[in-house]
Structure 1
Amino acid sequence: MFQCAYRDPYLLYTDNLLETPDDSSSLIHINEAHEIIYCVSGSLTANIEGVRYTVMPGDLLLIRDAEMHITAPETLPTQFHHIKFSPYYFNFFDTENRICRPFSEHPFGIGNLVPGSRLNRPLIENCFANIRGTRDAYMRRVAVFGTLMMILSDVNQCYDYDRSHHVDTRSAVLQEIITYINSHLDEDLNPDKIASRLYISRSQLDRIFKQNIGFTLWKYITFKRLIRARHLLHAGIANNEVARLCGFGDYSTFYKVYTKVWGRPPRAAQPNETTDPLLKQFYKFDDTASIIDATDELEGLFQRMKRLQLE
């Protein structure tokens, strides 16, 4: 259940308290947004690109855009804060692209957990308490934005960029599968060809992927392509060219899959006179911003979050 929440087209914040099994179903996510999860009490489990994490009170989980992940409470009750924000959110003043380095510079599934022992926990918790004290959408956006800035500033001071310090628990075969797919999204990723290239059988490929990632190989490939497509569309690349660059083969297939998952046609993601998806200028506060009512809009928000799960 949401205790406090805010949303607009580029920023989503929720303060979550999960007390019963009905509250705590696992959510499969892949987004074009960066995410932060801060555990307050209880504990969470996360499977990010096949790497499993346990998130304890005070720990911070960083999830970059296009990272496939499944999160669920490990114990009940569990409370955690969750912020999702556009990867372009700080473009208007962060000209060196340093604020989001802990997201953009970690490999998929590696280095996602920042232990609470490294963080300024009193600062972070005071920031979240300040959000709860706001009573209108305008000031809540200010509070969420300020909290996000403080957290990212703290993380940038303590984040360990040395990859050798982050343990990759995945098998060598799974690492190779994931690396190959993410490096060849514009090519023919027929599962039989992938299996042959990696010298394993198709059944082995499917089993390794399903057991470790949590869903099918083809769903993973499709979502990765769709996230890449979103970024290219936001940059103003023509729809037909986006379909080609993302490996869909033809525009008709791309259009059908894209519309099914995102709920709108590809052209809706293109920049225009009223839409600036790359946030070259910081967006104005308008009626798209709202404080989410935990009782009336909870189900609707969950449905929007689950929309990115292919049937």
Structure 2
Amino acid sequence: MKKEKNIIRNRKGYLNEDFLFFHLKDKKGIKFEFHYHDFNKIIIFLSGNVTYLIEGKAYKLKPRDILLVSSNDIHKAIIDPNGTYERIIIWVNSSFLQENNINQCNLLTCFKEASKKKFNLLRLNSEILNSVLHQLEEAYKSSEFGSYILRNALFLQFMVYINRMFLGNENHKELSDIEYDKNIGRVLDYINENLNKELSIDNISSKFYMSKYYLMHKFKKQTGYTIHNYIQNKRLIMANSLIKKGKSVTEACVECGFGDYSNFIRAFKKMFGLSPKKYYKRFDKLE
């Protein structure tokens, strides 16, 4: 199987396949930067000493923990180099799940709820889920007759179980190995709900009755980003999404909160490697 680290350069790109499945094991330390995907991501942690940071929350993982990372969530893994880091990663194409939305059974619900509740962890050891996951891995590696149909069917079955278990998971408040600053959590919520508005550090610190220096320090510690960089990245992610939905580059610039068009173009090109127009021309060709 392909190593995720060999294709991590596509982390800001698009997933054209229905889903991709990786079973990875690393015996040496690897360092990931904070990043995001345009697709959803499932991590099944198997072994190692790993803390996973997702939008201001730090999850200290235990074997068989499952993390749901919604598209555009900023995240990274912090890995102890003294152990073997083993995990299963599944990249999930939202369009594929939407195509299989039957009888109002939306298989994207677990990702939407994880993002809404700001809680990404599923800590269950289900024999049924483990069995389906094993079958899915075997089918994914197979080239026998009907293997493509079988793996997609097993993947949809897996997603049904993930949704059932996540929606029925009520004991997340009891977990003690999750680090989270509620004040910074409220700041993150405010930023993400108001990307099209004025979001200066002075205004944010005043709204939440914090010293701006204390806010900057706590925010960087909790998220890995400065406030300015976090806001800019989130605005660019929003612009990306708006253009995909048919908005013009100018409309996206305004609606995602950039006050200056030339600054928007420069920031977009720096983040994605191309100007907005060239970027989406290339994307259209790939489609």
Shift of 1:15: 2.3
**Equivalent runs, 1:69-88 vs 2, <5 Å:** 69-74=75-80, 76-88=83-95
Which residue of 1 is the match for residue 107 of structure 2?
99
CA distance in 2, matches of 1:117, 1:213: 29
In structure 1, what is the equivalent of residue 124 of structure 2? 116
Write out aligned runs for 1:1-311 (5 A): 9-11=15-17, 12-21=20-29, 24-74=30-80, 76-94=83-101, 96=104, 98-107=106-115, 110-118=118-126, 120-134=129-143, 145-160=152-167, 165-166=172-173, 169-267=179-277, 268-269=279-280
**Residue deviations 1:276-310 (CA, integer Å, cap 9, x gap):** 6xxxxxxxxxxxxxxxxxxxxxxxxxxxxxxxxxx
Q: What's the secondary structure of 2:167's corresponding residue?
A: coil
179 and 93 in structure 1: CA distance in 2 versus 1, 3 angstrom threshold: same
Q: 1:164 to 1:122 in 2, by over 3 A?
A: closer
Residues in 2 aligned to 1:251 and 1:141: alpha-carbon distance in whole angstroms:
45
SS in structure 2 of the partner of residue 47 of structure 1? strand
CA contact (8 A) 2:44 2:65 kept: yes
Answer whether contact 1:233 1:270 (CA < 8 A) is retained.
no
Letter in 2 for 1:248: F
Q: TM-score, normalised by structure 1?
A: 0.75
8 Å CA contact retained: 2:35, 2:74? yes
SS in 1 for 2:99: coil
For the aligned residue pairs, the C-alpha RMSD in angstroms reads: 3.3
Q: Which deviates the most, 100-109 or 253-262?
A: 100-109
**Which deviates further from its counterpart, 241-250 or 33-42?**
33-42
Could you say if the C-alpha distance between residues 128 and 52 of structure 1 is closer, same or farther in structure 2, counting changes exceeding 3 Å?
Answer: same
- Does the CA-based 8 Å contact 1:66-1:227 persist in structure 2? yes
Taking a change above 3 Å as real, the CA distance of residues 142 and 224 of structure 1, as seen in their structure-2 partners, is farther
How many residues matched? 272
C-alpha separation between the residues in 2 aligned to 1:26 and 1:79? 15
Query: Which protein is richer in helix relative to its size?
Result: 2
Q: Give 1:261 shift.
A: 1.1
Output the amino acid matched with 1:251: Y
Q: CA deviation at 1:272?
A: 9.2
1:147 CA displacement: 4.9
Unmatched 5+ stretches in structure 1: 277-311
TM-score relative to the length of structure 2: 0.81
Amino acid paired to 2:258: F
- How far did 1:43 drift? 4.4
CA distance in 2, matches of 1:163, 1:228: 31
